[in-house]
Amino acid sequence: WYCELQGEDAEVFEDSFVMVSGLDESFMSGESIQSGVTTLLAPNALIEGGHMMIPAGAQVELGKKDRRRSLAETSGTKTVLAVRVVANDASSTSSVETIRKEVFEGVGLKSQYEQCSHGKLQLIPATGTGITGGVTTVTINQSVSGKSRGIIESAVRGQLGNLANVADHVMLCLPPGTNDGWIAYAYVNSWLSVYNDEWCTYLSAQLHELGHNLNLGHSGEGSQAYDDQSGYMVSAWAQGKIYNEPFVKNALM
């Protein structure tokens, strides 16, 4: 489980998202917990190195934000920043120019969300110092080989500061070499998505993960999370199918 720090905590600590440990699994898997809605108050928690450790016996309180306020906006104009990462032992395979083209030009994240929303959602490149066409490069003093994706994600965010103030949505393109053979992941009803190297240039992964940011769940059929194959909220693939209607009826909100 990850939590997004709020208020003074977000200002004090470098990590905007922290991994929560120390809570009983049954406590965190309750039906009352909703991504982007449930709040966690733990006055005695210790936060360090991207982790929130809750001591045994500490008081913990769950609450809820106003769901009407917390849902991600799914229309209008939103900025997107893609981040190419250079580590001590590896770099994102795709160049800044390649990432820019795959995200913002031709058949990519920008064009497909515009088409699928019938023009109601416009994704535009973020601008600012060190950003070229919606893409920036960050260098971390960290090797990626054999490391967990969470450690590298935390290192990148530490270099970039409060990314939530840079763009409405941020895509981290991590270098190859992290462990576990993962593809990509995103925080539901939030602003951050993370990709294993070239997966950040694959259309299916881009649309799928940003869909999670927009509060979409997986497109299930019956009891199977990925069985509805009619849109992008199923498992990602490297290339091939292009849908004009990715938000299928079975994508869970």
How confident is the prediction for the chain on average, in pLDDT? 80
Per-residue pLDDT for 64 more than 60? yes
Q: Residue 123 is inside which H or E element, if any? A: strand 121-125
Q: 3-state class of 158 per DSSP? A: helix
Say whether pLDDT at 19 is over 90. no
Q: Any residues with CB less than 8 A from the CB of 226 and at least 6 apart, and which?
A: 218, 219, 220, 234, 235
Q: What does the pLDDT read at residue 125?
A: 97
Would you say 48 and 14 are in contact if contact means Cβ atoms under 8 Å apart? no
At residue 32 the predicted structure's pLDDT band, cuts being 50, 70 and 90, is low
Q: What is the pLDDT of residues 74-119, one digit of tens each?
A: 889 999 999 999 999 999 999 999 999 999 998 899 999 999 899 9
pLDDT tens digits for 190-215? Answer: 889 999 999 999 998 999 999 988 88
Checking DSSP bridges between strand 192-196 and strand 169-174, what pairing results, if any? parallel
Angle between helices 96-104 and 203-213 (to 10 degrees): 70
80 touches 136 (CB < 8 A): no
